[in-house]
């Protein structure tokens, strides 16, 4: 029996609710080679993240309810803002332990992946260059000015963030990202880490029947794991992935070619300035977990640009973690804010308190054209068997997201 099927069979026959084995991760042609010890390192981190979410975090909530909140109320009255909750939690050992371990697993995940890719950097870079150099589907701009909100921080502890190029043709950054996503998500994104993109494609087909886009634009496409499922789901469409990071785009095209996906192009550009694309060029504009890594000013310009390049009757969709609303408990808001303070995501908190509907309308979309929905990662259940337990929530890592978007109305003649 093949190794991946054997591991899946073991997971199905045993009463096991942890992450799948790292051996089940899809090995497309650009995926870095991983040794036994490296795979076990990722397995350990995936299980640790699951343990933190399912076992330690509930204890943090109990400590909040039984110790932190009563003590605060005694001296100050009820909490009025999530920042008060966060500062109170910082003094409690339950939160301190959970937070320290969560940060440590992220740093360890990045270092584990970095070691995997750096030791085989030459082979990975040569393979990517062989697949992409001279291919018109990859458009890089020498000396491209990467926005400061990307260069100022190593996002989620990723060395060099999305843009750093160690040498000509470097793809070690995105290869690290691809290899280690399993550990961060506990395998929740599926065999090729593309469960998010598959979920979006599924949602569009189910909720917009008859929608047959011929031109799709994905902003902040990264290494392609979210845009390639759109290209697969709509094979007659011309799909364009835009990103500021040259290594990500190079890896994205190499990944696409290795997986036999040929209807997608990768272009280096700033999502705030899509002037290279004419007005009304696309039927569908998409972002997936991208907005929280921009800035408030950038978002306003991005929303305006997406409307400009969208055809009448076309749609724009943004997939993100949920917004902070009045009906979301302050405790949940404070835990969701963890990424902003302790995981190198400085815009996370601001993005999630913005009224996205209002930004859509300010960009020119009509109120009755605003779209809301929700998606959860689509994975291959034969390789990543589901236990049916959807109760584990760690406020930021769960493979389920909100969808907000808008349809561009056809103007009356």
Burial of residue 124, with CB atoms counted within 10 A of its CB: 0-12 exposed, 13-18 middle, 19 or more buried: buried
User: Tens digit of pLDDT for each residue in 102-145?
Assistant: 999 999 999 999 999 999 999 999 999 999 999 999 999 999 99
What per-residue confidence (pLDDT) applies to 14?
47
The residue behind tokens 């992450």 is 19
What per-residue confidence (pLDDT) applies to 395?
79
> With 60 as the cut, is the pLDDT of residue 221 above it?
yes
What per-residue confidence (pLDDT) applies to 397?
73
Give the range with max mean pLDDT: 17-21, 107-111, 185-189.
107-111
Q: How confident is the model at residue 303 (pLDDT cuts 50, 70, 90)?
A: very high
Under 8 Å CB-to-CB from 231, ≥6 apart: which residues? 216, 237, 239, 256, 261, 263, 264
Q: Where is average pLDDT lowest: 180-189, 229-238, 251-260?
A: 180-189
The distance from CA 40 to its chain's CA centroid, rounded to whole angstroms, is: 24
Under 8 Å CB-to-CB from 405, ≥6 apart: which residues? 315, 316, 317, 318, 360, 370, 371
What per-residue confidence (pLDDT) applies to 387?
45
CA-closest candidate to residue 264, choices 412, 170, 139, 83: 139
- Neighbour count for residue 209 (Cβ, 10 Å): 7
Q: How confident is the model at residue 225 (pLDDT cuts 50, 70, 90)?
A: very high
What per-residue confidence (pLDDT) applies to 355?
93
Instruction: Provide the CATH number for the domain around residue 224.
Output: 3.40.50.150
How large is the average pLDDT for residues 349-369?
94
Which domain range does residue 385 map to? 1-413
Q: Where is average pLDDT lowest: 31-45, 154-168, 372-386?
A: 372-386
Separation between Cα atoms, residue 407 and residue 317, nearest integer Å:
9
What per-residue confidence (pLDDT) applies to 396?
72
Count of the separate structural domains present in the chain: 1
């Amino acid at each position: 029996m093949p190794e991946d099927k054997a591991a899946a069979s073991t997971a199905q026959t045993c009463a096991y609710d942890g992450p799948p084995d790292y051996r089940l991760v899809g090995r497309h042609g650009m995926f870095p080679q991983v040794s036994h010890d490296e795979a076990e390192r990722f397995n350990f981190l995936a299980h640790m993240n699951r343990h933190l979410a399912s076992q330690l975090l509930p204890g943090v909530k109990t400590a909040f309810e039984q110790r932190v909140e009563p003590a605060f109320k005694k001296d100050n009255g009820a909490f009025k803002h999530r920042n008060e909750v966060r500062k109170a939690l910082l003094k409690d050992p339950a939160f301190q332990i959970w937070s320290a371990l969560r940060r440590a697993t992220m740093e360890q995940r990045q270092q584990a992946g970095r070691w995997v890719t750096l030791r085989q950097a030459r082979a990975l870079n040569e393979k990517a260059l062989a697949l992409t150099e001279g291919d018109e589907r990859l458009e890089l701009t020498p000396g491209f000015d990467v926005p400061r909100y990307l260069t100022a921080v190593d996002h989620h502890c990723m060395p060099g963030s999305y843009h750093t190029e160690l040498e000509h043709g470097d793809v070690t950054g995105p290869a690290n990202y691809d290899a280690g996503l399993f550990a961060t998500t506990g395998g929740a994104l599926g065999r090729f880490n593309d469960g998010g993109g598959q979920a979006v494609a599924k949602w569009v087909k189910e909720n917009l029947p008859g929608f047959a886009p011929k031109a799709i634009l994905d902003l902040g496409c990264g290494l392609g794991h979210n845009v390639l499922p759109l290209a697969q789901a709509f094979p007659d469409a011309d799909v364009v992935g835009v990103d500021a990071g040259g290594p990500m785009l190079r890896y994205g095209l190499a990944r696409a070619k290795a997986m036999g996906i040929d209807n997608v192009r990768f272009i280096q550009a700033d999502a705030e300035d899509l002037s290279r694309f004419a007005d009304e060029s696309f039927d569908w504009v998409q972002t997936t977990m991208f907005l929280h890594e921009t800035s408030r000013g950038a978002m306003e310009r991005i929303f305006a640009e997406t409307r400009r390049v969208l055809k009448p009757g076309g749609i724009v969709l943004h997939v993100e973690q949920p917004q902070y609303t009045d009906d979301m408990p302050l405790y949940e808001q404070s835990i969701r804010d963890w990424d902003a303070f302790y995981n190198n995501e400085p815009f996370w908190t601001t993005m999630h308190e913005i009224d996205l509907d209002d930004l859509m309308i300010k960009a020119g979309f009509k109120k009755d054209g605003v779209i809301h929905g929700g998606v959860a990662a689509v994975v291959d259940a034969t390789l990543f068997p589901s236990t049916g337990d959807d109760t584990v929530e760690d406020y930021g890592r769960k493979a389920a997201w909100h969808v907000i978007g808008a349809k561009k109305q056809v103007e009356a003649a």
